[in-house]
Amino acid sequence: MAGLEVRDVTVRYGGATAVDGVSLAVAPGEVVALLGPSGCGKSSLLRAVAGLEPLAGGRVAYDGADLAGVPVHRRRFGLMFQDGQLFPHRDVGRNVAYGLETQPLGRAARDARVAELLDLVGLAGYERRPVPTLSGGEQQRVALARALAPRPRLLLLDEPLSALDRQLRERLANEVRSVLVGTGTTAVFVTHDHAEAAVVADRVAVMDAGRLLQVAAPDELRTAPASDRVAEFLGLRG
């Protein structure tokens, strides 16, 4: 099967089960949001897909190949977190170039790729800017450019906009959507904000207490929530 396949995945911390037998497929070029309340296991599932958390059960495969035993850096996945985790002592250009350093690219090709990515995220010409002079929104744009630069086959985003204020979050959610769609990037986007999930994703996977409650397109979720709990998460009730 092409794309990401998560089958019956369980993640445990000691005796506590954070992810409880989750199955989810993400097709090539598709953006899926993982939506749910704090502590429901979204980050744990994302980390398990990335290879950062061991599986207590189940399997994660990409393009039909089981990833058990494949370390994080060999999965060709990109990662982006709430706090973009930029290198403060590198300028913007060298942050974006970071993921390209292991690739056999000449300097001119690397610079061109950095410029292309900065243009894509609306920061053309920012190469020499020191990271501490950037606003929070600009920093997340740089983090997105950095994550996309090596052309990951899957991008995993963990609450990438949560540290920003609501207005900026809404605008950036739209921008992230168009960057992902424009680059044909396959992505899983973790959020606790249902409006953000609906803007960013082709399908939304609603998660609660370690399990998936429903996976559907945003419109379908709104018109046909599978349960009261799903409706509650979507702000339709309660």
Ligand X SMILES: Nc1ncnc2c1ncn2[C@@H]1O[C@H](COP(=O)(O)OP(=O)(O)OP(=O)(O)O)[C@@H](O)[C@H]1O
User: What interhelical angle do 166-182 and 136-148 show, nearest 10?
Assistant: 20
3-state secondary structure of 120: helix
Cβ atoms of residues 21 and 57 within 8 Å:
yes
Q: How far is the CB of 236 from ligand X (least distance, A)?
A: 20
Give, for 148, the enclosing helix (H) or strand (E). helix 136-148
43: contact with ligand X by CB under 6 A? yes
Of the ranges 31-39, 55-63, 132-140, 175-183, which one interacts with ligand X (CB under 6 A)? 31-39
Structure tokens at 234: 């979507």
**Residue among 28, 39, 54, 235 that touches ligand X (CB under 6 A):** 39
**Cβ nearer to ligand X, comparing 185 with 191:** 191
Q: Is 213 in the site for ligand X (CB under 6 A)?
A: no
* Amino acid of residue 214: Q
Q: How many residues bind ligand X (CB under 6 A)?
A: 11
Judged by CB under 6 A, which of 1, 8, 13, 224 binds ligand X? 13
Distance between CA atoms of residues 180 and 98, nearest Å: 20
Q: Is 40 an interacting residue with respect to ligand X (CB under 6 A)? A: yes
Binding site for ligand X (CB under 6 A): 13, 18, 36, 38-44, 192
